[in-house]
A and B are shown apart, each in its own frame.
Chain A
Amino acid sequence: MSLNEREDEDKHTEDKERILMANDRKFNALFDYPDNSIKTSKYSLFNFLPMNLFEQFQRLANAYFLVLLFLQLIPQISSLAWYTTVIPLIVVLSITGVKDAIDDVKRHQSDKQVNNRSVLVLVDGRVEEDKWMNVQVGDIIKLENDHPVTADVLLLSSSEPYGLAYIETADLDGETNLKVKQAISVTSDMEDNLELLSAFNGEIRCEPPNNKLDKFSGILNYLGVNYFLDHDRLLLRGCIIRNTDWCYGLVIYTGPDTKLMQNGGKSTFKRTHIDHLMNVLVVWIFLVLGAMCLLLSIGHGIWESNKGYFFQEFLPWQHYIASSTTSSALVFWSYFIVLNTMVPISLYVSVEIIRLGNSYYINWDRQMFYAPKNTPAQARTTTLNEELGQVKYVFSDKTGTLTENVMIFNKCSINGKTYGYSYDANGQCVPVSLNNKVDFSYNHLADPKFSFYDNTLVEAVKSEDHFVCLFFRCLSLCHTVMSEEKVEGKLVYQAQSPDEGALVTATRNFGFVFCSRTSETITVIEMGETRVYQLLAILDFSNERKRMSVVVRTPEDRVMLFCKGADTILYELLHPSCASLSEVTMDHLDLLGATAIEDKLQIGVPETIVTLSKAKIKVWVLTGDKQETAVNIAYSCRIFKDEMDEVFMVEGTDQETVLQELRTARKKMKPESLLESDPINICLARKPKMPFRVIDEAPNGDYGLVINGYSLAYALEGNMELELLRTACMCKGVICCRMTPLQKTQVVDLVKRYKKVVTLAIGDGANDIGMIKAAHIGVGISGHEGMQAMLNSDFSFCQFRYLQRLLLVHGRWSYNRMCKFLSYFFYKNFAFTLVHFWYAFYNGFSAQTVYDTWFITCYNLVYTSLPVLGLSLFEKDVNETCSLCYPELYEPGQHNLYFNKKEFLKCLVHGIYSSCVLFFVPMGTIFNSERSDGKDISDYQSFSLLVQSTLIWVMTMQIALRTNTWTMISHAFTWGSLGLYFCILLFLCSDGLCLMFPSTFYFLGVTRNNLKQPQMWLCLILSTVLCVIPVIGYNFLKPLLWPINVDKVLERIHFCLKHPLPLPVQAKIKHPGLRRSAYAFSHKQGFGDLITSGKTMKSSAFKTSKRPL
């Protein structure tokens, strides 16, 4: 009874907290916690069909065809056999269904594999092996080194001192560096004592399952004492135990409740401009369809009352038709069915297939494969391809994206003497070469990958120069690097930031080897001599303080403070004898030295940026780094050029100044843009509610803009954002520095909102995720800063320079292909469908179709699908070399010139013209006509056959004209489909088939009788000529009479191809090797907290621990 009450109460409070008791399955079973099996699969064998169909019919197009199918089943309005809709619908649904099924089978397999992994569970005082899926909330499990964590567990104890456990969270957040978790002391004391562990009966009250990876709060009640639990105690499912022999954990969240699974939700779905356009166009088509049906039903009403009424002797009205009005109301729907092919059923499926194909090209591209990391480019989202061909703004991170983010200890200055330049025998400074590389063989712990070119520093170390030794001692002590000795004598460092790793590695090579650390000691081998420093305090690095300090007690019992940090910050703290006076801290520090760490530009970055800017793509650098560094990088990667008219700096620290600076810049670039007569100002004066499109403004020269984070905070506020946008968009290059991740997102969003152009964000770090998600296209560089950016991106690759290939080659082709596909696809369906419209005027608007029902069924699906797929997978208007050499070719995509509403209307007009030709030429041919033997040719079936053959022929010629690149596959698809049509036609009209199903196939012998007739072929040729010749003429005259920029480039390319001249070679851009100094903003907080937190429990740890530290 009491248990029941308890249960009720808990059900009531379930939303608020979770209660569980260790080692008490009975108690925990009251709460119906899920078991630890996971199910990422969506379907089972039995529910696949209904669920998948339900999902598919939620898509508008599929639902439309389902409605259509039901309309067709109503005999009063049915004007087409049911199978004309059913067969295409089934094919479309099954293509998608098969794709879904394959995906789901994969998920089933991985689920099964994961659920059946074995884990060690503590049962009745023994550790037993069990399957993952059998683990339950409240169980205590044993995890071993290099094993994945089974569920979200509370760390109880581990093999490491202080109950520390190291984990890798690559599966969870993509970061590959180690993280440390620590058990609370009361549980870590139990160590691996199974008796204690199985007697552990702590009760835990914690928050209900949620998806916040870095948040957890709960209370452990054990022996009447409450202990607070936070996320540092929790090992999350998906992590991997590292450097820890074993650890015990209490299962808190299982299976679907784990944070990993709670995070499995699909991220926001990006849609391309073309998608939106397509939806608008489909609505337009619906309107046109409705209008046509209305027109035809009115026509029907008139015809029925004028003629049909008197024709009843031969064809009486149906009993339910009271008047011609009723009849015309019904015929509206009949025509709705007949003309349904205006909305092409296979449009969406085809678009998906094309995008998928073009995504695979990106994955397959060897030239975007980065050999050193064995990583190919990856299209993680397969629905955005054509948008790659329309990018107007690129927002790039700096560190790790433009630069390599490989920190190299390059130079240092110790006690006023600079080291790092390479000298020859005569003391002359010479360029770095392998010959004068410093030999570190005296130090067996040296990292062989490290290289340094100034022997004077080594000599200084060897001569035990006081300052040099102190300098390196500082570097070897003042850090939060974790060391690991995997193989005897081989140290591996785990650093939170590459800068720190570079410094410690350099120090190690010079003979100050950081060996290991505990929470209160640091062991360093200084020139072969092992010294243990007592660690008294660590003040970890933070972005606000931009420095870190340690206080240590040397073996000589001296207490020393070492501090390292950003130059600007440290200057303020220095002893007056070292730098200008400052009264900030109690004690002034002595300057030991300065380090110079180089982060090289990635290969090909300046060339890429020059190419992109030739393609009229604007590159903005959004970085958290300091201004000087960012500007230097901007110059060296050619975003800013020396020949620029001016580079504006916006550095104001209050709203007024920032506004003034922005206005001044704009006044300089385009004085008239401040006048009230400026179109944008007029537009602004009207105070539109909706975000409107800010048109591009042309400045009177080349300008650059640098704006820093403080000023940006003001500039992004309410009414200032348009000022910022207008000024920034007039500049050739924009650098935003000292930015927070949120500001990056805001800037991307600003441009996206007001410019209505395609934006692309590219970055490599966790601080870029916001902008990667906000931009139309997010590109992740899989670099050194974990894989978080990559995991959130739509496309990923290793090097910035691949961006030009992604945009100018893949993007451009995808865009061109998609546009060609769409315009052809709409055209072919208009030409196909509108023929019925013309025929209506001759058949009393009775919803009689021109074509055989089987032709209607197969037209989109069989006869015309392969050629158009071939076109949209293999078409290239120019080859990739030209795409890269003439970036101007990229421009039409940015303005969406190849497929827009105007182009759609052209398709419509072209379709109307073609349908006229396709209807009236065959009509003229057979009207009142006969064969040379006097027999019938003007019958309905012959007419139908003639029109459909002509249609297929014309469509084949049209696609042939649109195909620039003829591969074997194009030939096979195009001509093969034409051949296939005639084969299927012969089959459909064959005696055998028609005799077997006389009421379904009734075109018996029509093919044989008609294809022998010269009229038929003459009609076919004439129609083709009439449809094709104007197109050839138009295509030829259009670039001559109404040229757009790209036409001239294409002309030049064609000319060059015919008269082989050397193509303009991309000039290699020389850039000076720029160095950045000081700490990068990307520097993250280190392990300081954990190291020191170990210290707080020093006493208790010592009491119970049997192993010496």
Chain B
Amino acid sequence: MEVMPQYDLSRLPENTALKQQKLPAHQLDLSASVVLCIFFATGVFCLCMGVVLLLSAKSTKELEINYTNICANCAQLREDSSNFDKECTCSVPFYLLEKMEGNVYMYYKLYGFHQNLYRYVLSRSNSQLLGKDIWDVKDCSPFQMSHNNTPIIPCGAIANSIFNDTITLSYNLNSSIHIKVPMLKSGLAWLTDKYVKFQNPRTSDLASVFAGSAKPLHWTKPIYELDTDDPGNNGFVNEDFIVWMRTAAFPTFKKLYRRLKRVDYFAEGLPAGNYNFHISYNFPVTMFHGEKSVVLSTLTWIGGGGIFLGLTYTVTGALTLLASFAILTIHLMLKRTKKSFL
């Protein structure tokens, strides 16, 4: 705007790019060619990704044995909670068709166990598990105190419901020689959990520190006796305990139980052959219509053998490619009419 110099311009707005809405900018213009490029590129990328993921998933081996019904008598025993002190063991034989190469992981898998219920998830005491204030049980409702009003350590519904079956695997070299498959009970939990989030009180004698506390209702032994052999795996930093305390997002989940120690016969993994799971059956599932199984699995860079990602990527890629052809057709068909305004 041309302004005559003789006018009083004291109220003339400032001429800045912001105030005049003239900030330098570039326009996002999704023209036909750009859109088509995006579609084709995305389609090809997704398709390739999908194929790679599917192939990776296929390279893993997994074996799952559901022992809910196999150990039916134990299950029945456990439905009555007054039998908690009665031992019940169960042996599950199976035949491994192909050998499992590389690192083999043993999981327990629960069906229909809701670790994600609102009240369940909250029922824990993080400050207690940190070893800072072990008597802090205020968040642990409904498992704060035992019957005789002593604080429970570790308190809360999550700790109380810990998976307490013991599973051992033996390899039947032949009908007479049964070799116990060596398993590692370390390296199961996240490092941050093991070393930061869960800490024992700084003491050499855990039992004395925890004196005056009660063990959780369902537990057969107190927290300081979880692993008496290895003080680094005892108390709050017991890895089975830590793994359980990381609550699952969905009612069906599997948790890492043991890792294969690759020595002797098992240096290259699990050879094919006859195996036996020896299960000390403690964890009740049938009363809430749940199931449990044990899983042996090898892993790849993308984890286990889940095909969800691979399949979805493939489908997405294929659909995107189809869509891009459709768009191309529409674009070409309408191109003539579009030019009419010129």
Contacts and interface: CB of A to CB of B under 8 A. Distances in A.
Interface of A: 79, 307-308, 310-311, 313-316, 318, 334, 360-361, 363-367, 369, 371-372, 374-376, 813, 842-844, 846-848, 874, 876, 880, 921, 923-944, 960-961, 963-970, 991, 994-995, 998-999, 1002, 1004-1005, 1008-1009, 1014-1015, 1018-1019, 1022, 1025-1026, 1029, 1032-1033, 1035-1037, 1040-1041, 1048, 1051-1052, 1054-1055, 1057
B68 interface: no
B220 interface: no
A924 B312 contact: yes
A848 B4 contact: no
A198 B190 CA distance: 95
7 contacts: A315-B119, A318-B142, A925-B308, A927-B252, A936-B255, A1004-B196, A1033-B323
A1041 B338 CA distance: 11
A930 B256 contact: yes
B299 A932 contact: yes
* Dominant secondary structure at the A interface: helix
B320 A967 contact: no
Contacts of B287: 310, 313
The residue among A310, A933, A991, A1002 with the most chain B CB atoms within 10 A of its own CB is A933
Contact of A371 (B7, B139, B157, B187): B7
Given A307-B112, A1005-B197, A1025-B316, A998 B303 contact: no
A371 B189 contact: no
A502 B337 CA distance: 61
Given A932-B302, A1036-B30, A1041-B330, A376 B13 contact: yes
Given A366-B12, A367-B1, A1032-B38, 6 more contacts: A372-B7, A929-B303, A1025-B316, A1032-B30, A1036-B32, A1048-B341
A369 B12 CA distance: 7
B140 to A, nearest CB: 11
B24 A1014 contact: no
B302 A928 contact: no
B266 to A, nearest CB: 16
Given A928-B253, A1004-B192, A1032-B30, A994 B316 contact: no
Interface string B119-147: 11101011101101000000100100000
A1029 B42 contact: yes
A930 B304 contact: yes
Contacts of B24: 967-968
A388 B51 CA distance: 54
Contact of A310 (B39, B289, B342): B289
Given A376-B11, A964-B28, A1029-B39, A1009 B190 contact: yes
B331 A876 contact: no
Contacts of B25: 874, 876, 965-967, 970
Contact of B27 (A310, A964, A1029): A964
B58 interface: no
A1040 B249 CA distance: 44
B115 interface: yes
Contact of B316 (A79, A314, A1022): A1022
B176 interface: no
Contact of B130 (A846, A939, A998): A998
B248 A375 contact: no
A934 B8 contact: no
B273 interface: no
B243 interface: yes
A705 B123 CA distance: 78
Contact of B127 (A998, A1015, A1040): A998
Contacts of A940: 115-116, 121, 247-249
A995 B312 contact: no
A1014 B313 CA distance: 14
Given A842-B116, A874-B23, A1041-B330, A364 B196 contact: no
B299 A846 contact: no
Contacts of A876: 21, 25
B33 to A, nearest CB: 11
A939 B288 CA distance: 21
B3 interface: yes
B250 A848 contact: no
Given A936-B256, A1029-B42, A365 B116 contact: no
Contacts of B35: 1032-1033, 1036
Contact of B196 (A960, A991, A1022): A991
Contacts of A939: 246-249
Contacts of A360: 19
B185 interface: no
A965 B250 contact: no
B301 A1014 contact: yes
Interface string B35-59: 1001100100010010001000000
Contacts of B175: none
B192 A1005 contact: yes
Contacts of B9: 371, 374
A485 B256 CA distance: 101
Nearest to B136: A999
A1028 to B, nearest CB: 9
A314 B160 contact: yes
A935 B256 contact: yes
A1073 to B, nearest CB: 22
The residue among A924, A991, A999 with the most chain B CB atoms within 10 A of its own CB is A999
Contacts of A1005: 190-193, 196-197
Interface in B229-285: 243, 246-256, 259, 284
The residue among B10, B53, B297, B309 with the most chain A CB atoms within 10 A of its own CB is B309
A966 B21 contact: no
Contacts of B8: 374
A314 B159 CA distance: 10
The residue among A371, A963, A968 with the most chain B CB atoms within 10 A of its own CB is A371
A995 B142 CA distance: 24
B130 A934 contact: no
B130 A995 contact: yes
A442 B135 CA distance: 108
Contacts of A316: 142
B29 interface: yes
A1054 B308 CA distance: 42
A936 B246 contact: yes
Nearest to A360: B19
B55 to A, nearest CB: 14
B316 A365 contact: no
A79 B114 CA distance: 17
A313 B1 contact: no
B26 A942 contact: no
Contacts of A1004: 192-193, 196-197
A788 B7 CA distance: 25
A363 B27 contact: no
B321 to A, nearest CB: 11
Contact of B302 (A923, A994, A1015, A1036): A1015
Nearest to A363: B13
A876 B105 CA distance: 57
Given A927-B306, A1018-B309, A1036-B327, A315 B117 contact: yes
Contact of B117 (A363, A843, A1037): A843
Nearest to B120: A315
Contacts of A1041: 330
Contact of B254 (A880, A930, A1037, A1055): A930
B268 to A, nearest CB: 17
Contacts of B115: 940
Given A931-B303, A965-B25, A315 B188 contact: no
A311 B161 CA distance: 11
A361 B19 contact: yes
Given A925-B308, A963-B28, A1014-B302, A848 B197 contact: no
B106 to A, nearest CB: 9
Interface string B304-329: 10101100110010001001000100
Contact of B1 (A366, A813, A1015, A1052): A366
